[in-house]
Amino acid sequence: MGDDYTRRPEHWQRDLADRGLEAELRAYLAGQKLRYEDNTGRLNLPDFFVWLPMEGQERRIALEAKEKKQRYRPRWVELAGGIPEADLLVQDELSARKVLAYSPLAFLLFKDRLSWEAPYVVYSGLDLFCLPKRRVNRAIAKTTPRFKGKWLLSRRDGRCFASLGEALRFIAEYSAHGYLDDLRRLECYGNFVGEKVPVV
């Protein structure tokens, strides 16, 4: 993507100092007295394990927490292949892999700070597996030149909520009931923006 899009050490320092959704999750889970495990300091695990009450028992779900903090540059929109900037969410492929590794009870939770009506966007592992996506490698400048995989997603392919509580209630309900129905479907899963699945 060129030098203007290369991640540099100062970018990581800024991101680590501004992890608002993670702090919001900790406060909400503690306030609701929900048991959770904070893995945000570990690269090989999802950001949080949360034990949610489902049908009289606790079940562990995995959460990856990400944020859209500002408008994306025009180059990202160009690469997204038709996704409007207002709908665009840029996600690390590493995070998506962690969600997939802990599926089906694993979710990507995005907070879009630019959306006032429905800032919380939830993708299940099945969504991430099946939805159309653009993938790009972004150069990162640490000690040696490397690349970081990014997925360019549409928020319209997730489920959008006005509050964190609503998003987590959906996750609990889906984990208790909906995911089994989706796993057992014979037809192609999902109704994704811009995708038409042909009948042959």
Write out pLDDT tens, residues 60-91. 999 999 999 999 999 999 999 889 999 999 99
Greatest alpha-carbon pair distance for the chain in Å reads 53
Got the DSSP string for 167-189? HHHHHHHIIIIIHHHHHT-SSPP
Please give the pLDDT value at position 7: 46
Please give the pLDDT value at position 198: 94
pLDDT at 15 over 70: no
Please give the pLDDT value at position 162: 97
Sign for the CA dihedral angle at 80, 86, 87, 92 comes to positive
173-187, pLDDT tens digit by residue?
A: 999 988 989 999 999
Angle in degrees, CA 72, 77, 79, rounded to 5: 125
Structural domain boundaries of the chain?
Answer: 3-183
**pLDDT, the chain, mean:** 89
Angle in degrees, CA 69, 64, 118, rounded to 5: 50
Mean pLDDT computed over 116-121: 95
Strand partners, 161: 120
Rounded Cα distance between 189 and 160, Å, is: 18
Please give the pLDDT value at position 165: 96
**Nearest Cα to Cα of residue 105 among 186, 24, 32, 176:** 176
| Domain over 3-183 is classified CATH 3.40.1350.10 | yes
